[in-house]
Amino acid sequence: MNPRARPRSTNGQFAKASSIPSPTPLASTMATTEQLQEELANLKAQYGELKQLYQENLANTSAPPPPPPTAPNIDELERVRFMLSELTKKFEEASSRANSGSSEETGGVPPFIPPPTTNGASTSLRSLFPDIEAAHITSIITHDFRGSDLYKLDSRYRDKEAAFTFNGSTGQFETSNRAAKEYKTFDMLYIPLVAYFSILSAHLPSQPTVPLVFFKFLVHLQKLARDYEWAAVLEYSIVFFNRRRMEMLEHGDYSHWALPDNGLMAEHIYAHRKVTIRGSGSGAGSRGGASTPKPPVVCYNWNQNKCSGSAKCPSGRTHVCSTCGKADHSLVDHPKST
């Protein structure tokens, strides 16, 4: 059979050829696809925008609105204002104390002073104390100067041997016989002490309260010298001096110069109170030889003719006239002037 032969109908006639659409050109098909893709991309973009807008609207509608601002509480504002005012006052008071160098809170005792870091005595200090070696001045302001070195500040003793000795077994400074001979009284120790305190005070011009504690120590020492034996007071002074030196060196603390050390006083002072010997009237046992005779005590009852003893007063008083001192008459019988 010829494949190209036309098909026949049932009656034997040739059937008409069916209408078959003509194929679409390829270029037209590709253009339509690109348009569809572009429209699809536009739809996706619009969908994304709508989705984002929907989510934003959903978030805005689901979140509760922020509460309105609370009105300020008057009491709370007043409390905060009061606290600020108190803090301002305290700051101003602290600044004023720092600027004026006062020490009201410590009752006149100077505040903490950092240990000095200077490497030597300044020119101004050397000019203020020309008779004291610069090495001694440096030792004083760096708190290396010991109580046993005080004689170096006194021109009377600076060229002599050390006035004090250290007892290694007890760990204390002890006065030697030579020291007791050289510093016989408080006045002799007073000179090197004043020189020592003057150098420290001049080294700390911004601390005007420091000299006050030194003055209090000198007054304390003078009272001890008045009431107790000087050898014991001298020993107490040197030990006291070295303890204060360590406090200044390690802690910058000057305050204890103004405070008596009761522990040291019990150890060195209290058992050595001066013995006062009163004159007995005969002069045999008195300290200064023969004592001056005391004037007689007149019996005033006898002068009024009221004494019970005629020849001898029971009270041991003298029966003489209180006006003229004669024994032949009393005040009542004293001759009247004409």
Query: What integer best gives the mean pLDDT of the chain?
Result: 73
16-26 pLDDT, tens digit per residue, is 555 555 555 55
Could you give the residue ranges of the DSSP H alpha helices within the chain?
26-62, 74-100, 123-128, 134-141, 177-182, 186-203, 210-227, 230-251, 262-268, 300-303
pTM of the predicted model as reported, rounded to 2 decimal places: 0.45
Residue from 262, 224, 216 nearest 243 by CA: 262
- The ranges assigned to domains in the chain are 123-272, 295-338
Please state the separation of Cα 18 from the chain's center in Å.
Answer: 122
Q: Which two tokens stand for residue 73?
A: 């509480």
Q: Which two tokens stand for residue 74?
A: 């008057």
Residue from 211, 314, 301, 303 nearest 257 by CA: 211
Q: Residue 306: pLDDT band by 50, 70, 90 thresholds?
A: confident
Q: Is the pLDDT of residue 108 over 50?
A: no
Q: Is the pLDDT of residue 255 over 60?
A: yes
Task: Give the end-to-end CA distance of the chain in Å, rounded to a whole number.
Answer: 209
CA distances from 289 to 195, 292, 294, 314 (A): 39, 10, 15, 31
Distance CA 103, CA 206 (A): 13
* Residue, of 14 and 257, whose pLDDT is higher: 257
Distance CA 235, CA 261 (A): 13
Please state the separation of Cα 261 from the chain's center in Å.
Answer: 20
Please state which of the ranges 47-61, 78-92, 230-244 shows the lowest mean pLDDT.
Answer: 78-92
The sign one gets for the Cα dihedral 95, 101, 106, 108 is negative
314-331 pLDDT, tens digit per residue, is 777 778 777 777 778 887
Distance CA 254, CA 246 (A): 10
- What was the pLDDT predicted at 9? 56
* Residue, of 220 and 292, whose pLDDT is higher: 220
For residues 210 and 217, the answer to whether their CB atoms sit within 8 Å is no
- What was the pLDDT predicted at 183? 74
Secondary structure letter of residue 111 according to DSSP: -
Neighbours of 158 (CB within 10 A): 16
DSSP per-residue codes, 49-71: HHHHHHHHHHHHHHSPPPPPPPP
Which span out of 4-18, 201-215, 220-234 was modeled with the highest average pLDDT?
Answer: 220-234
Q: Which two tokens stand for residue 253?
A: 């603390």
SS3 273: strand
Amino acid (one-letter) located at 43 = L
For residues 278 and 288, the answer to whether their CB atoms sit within 8 Å is no
Q: What percent of the chain has pLDDT over 90?
A: 22
